[in-house]
Structure 1
Amino acid sequence: MEYRKLGATDLELSVIAHGAFALGGTMWGGNEKQDSINSIHASLDHGVTSIDTAPFYGFGLSEELVGEAIKGKDRSKIQLLTKFGLVWDGSNKGKGEFFFDAADNGKTIPVYKYASRENVIKEIEESLKRLGTDYVDLLQLHWPDATTSISETMEALELLIQQGKIRAAGVSNYSVAQLQQAAQTLKPASDQVPYSMLNRSIEKDLVSYASATHTGIIVYSPMERGLLAGKYFKEGSLKSDDHRNGYFTQFNLDKVKTLLQSIEPIATDKGVTLAQLVLRWTTLQPGISVVLAGARNAAQAIANAEAMSLELTTEELQFINLQLAGLQ
Structure 2
Amino acid sequence: MLRCRRRIQSEAPVSDNSIESYVTTINEEYRMSDRIVFGATGLEVSPICFGTWQLSPRFWGEQSKVDVLAAMGAAFDAGINFFDTADAYGDGYAETVLGEFLAGKPRENLVICTKVFNHFNPDASRYPDLSPDHIRHRCDLQLQRLGIETIDLYLLHLFDPLTPLADVAETMDSLKKQGKIRSYGVSNNTVEQLRAQRYFGAYDAVQPCYSLVDTKIESDLLPYCQAENIGVMVYSPMHKGLLTGKYTGSETFGDFRRHLPDFQGERFQAIATAVQSLAPLAKKYDLSIYQLVLSATLMHPGIDVAVVGIKNRAQIDEAAGAMGKTISREDYFAVRKALAVDGASKIRDAGGVKK
Q: What is residue 99 of structure 2 aligned with on the other side?
A: 67
Task: Deviation per CA, 1:29-88: give whole Å up to 9, x if none.
Answer: 201111111111111010110000001101111000000011101001100000001222
CA distance in 1, matches of 2:341, 2:65: 41
Is contact 1:9–1:189 with CA below 8 Å preserved after alignment?
Answer: yes
Task: Deviation per CA, 1:264-304: give whole Å up to 9, x if none.
Answer: 21113333221111111111112001110111111111211
Per mean C-alpha deviation after superposition, the further-off stretch among 38-47 and 277-286 is 277-286
Q: What is residue 246 of structure 1 aligned with on the other side?
A: 259
User: 294, 297, 305: which one pairs with 2:312?
Assistant: 297
1:262 aligns with 2:277: yes
Per mean C-alpha deviation after superposition, the further-off stretch among 256-265 and 171-180 is 256-265
1:16–1:76 Cα change, 3 Å: same
Name the TM-score, length of structure 1 as normaliser: 0.89
Q: CA RMSD in A?
A: 1.7
1:186–1:178 Cα change, 3 Å: same
Q: What is residue 98 of structure 1 aligned with on the other side?
A: none
How many residues are matched?
Answer: 309
Question: How much has 1:310 moved relative to structure 2?
Answer: 2.5
1:53 aligns with 2:68: no
Name the TM-score, length of structure 2 as normaliser: 0.83
Moved over 3 A (4+): 248-251, 324-327
Question: How much has 1:250 moved relative to structure 2?
Answer: 6.9
Higher strand proportion? 1
Per mean C-alpha deviation after superposition, the further-off stretch among 77-86 and 146-155 is 146-155
CA distance in 2, matches of 1:222, 1:195: 6
Runs of 5+ consecutive residues of structure 1 not aligned to the other structure: 91-107
User: 153, 166, 170: which one pairs with 1:138?
Assistant: 153
CA distance in 2, matches of 1:130, 1:193: 25
1:250–1:279 Cα change, 3 Å: same
Percent identity between the aligned chains? Answer: 33
Runs of 5+ consecutive residues of structure 2 not aligned to the other structure: 1-32, 344-355
Secondary structure at the counterpart of residue 321 of structure 1: helix
Q: What is residue 170 of structure 1 aligned with on the other side?
A: 185
Question: How much has 1:4 moved relative to structure 2?
Answer: 1.6
Question: How much has 1:326 moved relative to structure 2?
Answer: 5.0
Is contact 1:227–1:248 with CA below 8 Å preserved after alignment?
Answer: no
Q: What is residue 100 of structure 1 aligned with on the other side?
A: none
Is contact 2:271–2:339 with CA below 8 Å preserved after alignment?
Answer: no
Is contact 2:112–2:153 with CA below 8 Å preserved after alignment?
Answer: yes
Task: Deviation per CA, 1:96-116: give whole Å up to 9, x if none.
Answer: xxxxxxxxxxxx842212111
Q: What is residue 237 of structure 1 aligned with on the other side?
A: 252
Q: What is residue 76 of structure 1 aligned with on the other side?
A: 108
User: 273, 278, 301: which one pairs with 2:288?
Assistant: 273
